[in-house]
């Protein structure tokens, strides 16, 4: 079994550096954030790749789950541990008829816990499933909140999690655990985060949906902890800020490219020869551009016109090799001179540890202040020409082959002090997370 496990959503795999064997993943969610789609994508990928999966349900009836999952690939490898019918369902006939009707043609497996309100009986049922299925099985516990509701005891829920989390880790499984974030105390959530390897959060703010990483054990990336806005279209999870595809997404593509280059709507409007209001309406998909405007936009946003017209593009994240003609030109909003050009030397900086650039300064050019006030380490290597750098009131002359490394200090001036262009390899660590 490989160490990298897919969440079923390519951008999340990219952002998280994939899930790892042994991970227990807590999803802290608000109502209306569509966590069920995240669960479905994980389950689809698991079964498609031939692994077994167990869905422990406290919140949803087996009848509903069977309709939702019956068409999945390899559904014979899928087991529902039904803690709903005799739990929240109170053995109501509307739920028990699922069994009376021969499980309604469900092709997967269903195990009913006769009294999930009895903590010991539930734990015994889970242990039996784990012993029967063995190592490498993927688990989804649809509701830690549901457990707490029927046991009426936060401590019992924590006790079960404390017992199961290390056990599942030792079994080399991947387990998803869902809880309603507002239904639990802060201390309860803190205890769970302490034990688990990964904690993710789904929020809704002012009608917009946000995905956030709270804990990610064993991975290095500061950018990963920044909130990411997402949308749901036709049961697909879309992350517009990274070029995700959705209906009528021309505006999202323009906005994503503009922000990546660090340009304001006003700056883009001036370069294209339109008003800021035009760009604003364009990004909201309220208007459509003329062919001439589209050509100008593609030129100023460093892309090909066909990119705006493609419906089936696939974004290749973190390309290993970047050719000179594939480099992105980075716009520095605080640097007003046109005598400086900055190119990104990687495909993107998401989940990277370094952010390398090629910096070119024309002969005689000077930049007051720093290119960007970066909170981290910086390394520069002079590839060509001469560079004069002023740091803490002292000027340093650097020639081809020289390098310098700075931590907390910030240069107050950069100047090309030689003949011809000065070319510098400039590296930030950690990345600033996109321009």
- Structural domains in the chain plus CATH codes: 4-238 (3.40.50.300), 250-309 (1.10.260.40), 324-429 (2.60.120.10)
Of residues 295, 301, 241, the one with CA closest to residue 267: 301
As a whole number, mean pLDDT of residues 189-207 equals: 89
24-29 β-sheet, strand order: 109-112, 78-82, 53-57, 138-141, 174-180, 24-29, 198-205, 208-216, 228-233, 236-238
Q: What is the helix (H) or strand (E) element at residue 187, kind and residue range? A: helix 186-195
Lateral strand order in the sheet of 355-361:
328-330, 340-344, 355-361, 422-429, 377-384, 403-406
Cis amide bond preceding 180, omega within 30: no
Helix (H) or strand (E) holding 359: strand 355-361
Specify the pLDDT at position 114: 93
What token pair was written down for 238?
Answer: 């879309």
Q: What is the pTM of this model?
A: 0.57
User: What gap in Å lies between CA 91 and CA 125, rounded to an integer?
Assistant: 18
- Taking only the tens place, the pLDDT of each residue in 360-407 is 999 988 888 777 666 678 899 999 999 999 888 889 999 999 998 987
Residue 327 has a pLDDT of: 78
Structure confidence by residue, pLDDT tens digits, 96-149: 999 988 888 899 999 999 999 998 899 899 888 888 887 889 999 999 999 999
Per-residue pLDDT tens for 225-257?
888 888 887 677 888 765 444 444 778 888 888
State the sign of the Cα–Cα–Cα–Cα dihedral 346, 349, 354, 357.
Answer: positive
Residue 53, pLDDT > 90, answer yes
Each residue of 292-314: pLDDT tens digit? 788 888 878 877 665 676 543 34
């Amino acid at each position: 079994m490989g160490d990298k496990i897919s969440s079923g959503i390519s951008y999340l795999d990219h952002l998280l550096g994939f899930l790892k064997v042994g991970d227990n993943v807590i999803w802290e969610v608000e109502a209306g954030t569509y966590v069920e789609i995240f669960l479905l994508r994980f389950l689809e990928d698991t079964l498609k790749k031939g692994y077994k999966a167990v869905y422990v349900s406290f919140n949803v009836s087996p009848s509903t789950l069977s309709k939702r999952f019956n068409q999945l690939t390899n559904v014979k490898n899928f087991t529902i541990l039904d803690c709903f019918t005799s739990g929240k369902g109170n053995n109501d006939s509307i739920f028990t008829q699922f069994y009376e009707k021969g499980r309604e043609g469900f092709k997967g497996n269903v195990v009913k816990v006769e009294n999930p309100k009895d903590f010991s009986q539930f734990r015994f049922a889970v242990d039996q499933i784990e012993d029967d299925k063995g190592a490498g099985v993927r688990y989804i516990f649809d509701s830690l909140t549901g457990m707490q509701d029927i046991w009426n005891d936060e401590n019992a829920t924590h006790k079960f999690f404390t017992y199961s989390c290390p056990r599942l880790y030792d079994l080399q499984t991947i387990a998803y655990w869902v809880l309603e974030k507002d239904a639990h105390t802060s201390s309860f959530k803190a205890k769970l985060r302490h034990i688990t390897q990964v904690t993710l959060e789904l929020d809704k703010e002012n009608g917009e949906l946000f995905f956030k990483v709270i804990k990610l054990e064993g991975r290095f990336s500061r950018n990963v902890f920044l909130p990411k806005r997402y949308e749901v279209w036709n049961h697909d999870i879309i992350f517009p800020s990274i070029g995700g595809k959705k209906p009528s997404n021309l505006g999202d593509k323009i906005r994503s490219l503009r922000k990546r280059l660090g340009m304001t709507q006003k700056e883009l409007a001036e370069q294209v020869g339109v008003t800021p209001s035009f760009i604003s309406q364009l990004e909201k998909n309220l208007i459509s551009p003329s062919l001439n405007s589209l050509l100008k936009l593609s030129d100023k946003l460093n892309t090909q016109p066909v990119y705006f017209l493609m419906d089936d593009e696939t974004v290749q994240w973190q390309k290993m090799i970047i050719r000179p003609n594939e480099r992105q030109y980075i716009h520095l909003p605080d640097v007003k001179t046109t005598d400086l050009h900055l190119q990104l030397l990687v495909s993107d900086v998401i989940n990277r540890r370094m952010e390398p650039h090629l910096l070119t300064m024309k002969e005689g050019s000077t930049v007051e202040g720093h290119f960007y006030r970066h909170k981290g380490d910086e390394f520069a290597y002079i590839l060509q020409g001469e560079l004069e750098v002023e740091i803490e009131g002292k000027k340093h002359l650097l020639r081809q082959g020289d390098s310098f490394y700075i931590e907390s200090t910030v240069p107050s001036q950069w100047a090309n002090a030689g003949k011809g262009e000065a070319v510098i390899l400039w590296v930030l660590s950690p990345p600033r997370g996109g321009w």
